[in-house]
Amino acid sequence: MSETQATMQHPQDAQDHWIETAKGRLFARSWGPDVSPDTANEAGARRAPIVLLHDSLGCVALWGAFPQTLARATNRRVIAYDRAGFGASDARTDRLGEAFVRDEAQHDFPALCEQLGIDRFVVFGHSVGGGMAIECAAQHPPRCVALVTEAAQTFAEDRTLAGIRVAREQFRDPAQFARLARYHGEKTQWVLDAWIETWLSPEFADWSLDAVLPRVQCATLAIHGSLDEYGTRVHPETIAARVSGPARAAIMDGVRHVPHREQEAQVAAMVAEFLREVDG
């Protein structure tokens, strides 16, 4: 068994899925009340599930224990998937275009919902996945019950680009590259290029969610660490100010770019409290 295959091993209360798309198969995993047919009538199984969208180097395995913790805290089904080219999903060789954030909400996210029978959803995105989550909420307003962003970017901020340049140098270290390859295997160089080369390209310099945010009608929670090395608090504050539905920004003191890893229980509790208010 390869290291990439090993990341697909799952706990007993999770279920794995394969999603067919025009770009190949996507790997997804779900946790929570309706994983087992025996729990199909529980209240949690009737609530809109939470769909997780990972960051630029992420995948299902890199969420760690957070999806399971979130499922228990919210009593909802939680679903995470590897975007095309990442983790256990099929490889791709094309270069990401400037519109890749919007495209995820238009194509692969709807395919996941259709094939898993998801009619209504809560969407939770980390980092660039937060931008994708915003696009999902904006493009599917009748179906999106609530939006949670975590360390999301709303434009290509100088701080974001500076952090990416630092990371580019760090990944020249074979040991750093090998650690990432545990999760992406032979796709690792493509994954790095899809992040670094896309964000640092001149074509991406004008990318912004300014026109998208007002189309978000659902309740929104924008989580951000005060020490986030890839973006200042301007992003969560912009999200909270510009969406059309009720919204608030939650700044976590002393937390960096991955709140759900640094303060797993606190983030899960925060989301659970937010969703109790939404009650969808």
Residue 9 pLDDT = 55
How far is residue 196's CA from residue 102's CA, in Å, rounded to a whole number? 18
The whole-angstrom separation of Cα 34 and Cα 45 is 5
Neighbours of 158 (CB within 10 A): 8
Separation in Å, CA 144 to CA 113, 195, 203: 11, 27, 30
SS (H, E, C) the chain: CCHHHHCCCCCCCEEEEEEEECCEEEEEEEECCCCCHHHCCCHHHHCCCEEEECCCCCCCHHHCCHHHHHHHHHCCCEEEECCCCCCCCCCCCCCCCCCHHHHHHHCHHHHHHHHCCCCCEEEEEECHHHHHHHHHHHHCCCCEEEEEEECCCCECCHHHHHHHHHHHHHCCCHHHHHHHHHHHHHHHHHHHHHHHHHHCCHHHCCCECCCCHHHCCCEEEEEEECCCCCCCCHHHHHHHHHCCCCEEEEEECCCCCCHHHHCHHHHHHHHHHHHHHHCC
Domains observed in the chain: 3-278 (3.40.50.1820)
Q: What is the pLDDT of residue 44?
A: 54
54, 56, 60, 61: CA torsion to nearest 10 = -130
What's the whole-model pTM score?
0.92
pLDDT at residue 43, rounded to an integer: 57
Q: What is the pLDDT along the chain (280 residues), one digit of tens a residue?
A: 233 443 445 556 799 999 999 889 999 999 987 444 444 435 555 799 999 999 999 999 999 999 999 999 999 999 999 999 999 999 999 989 899 999 999 999 999 999 999 999 999 999 999 999 999 999 999 999 999 999 999 999 999 999 999 999 999 999 999 999 999 999 999 999 999 999 999 999 999 999 999 999 999 999 999 999 999 999 999 999 999 999 999 999 999 999 999 999 999 999 999 999 887 5
Q: Are 55 and 126 in contact (CB under 8 A)?
A: yes
C-alpha span between 239 and 251 (Å, rounded): 13
- Residues 171, 249: Cα–Cα separation, whole Å: 32
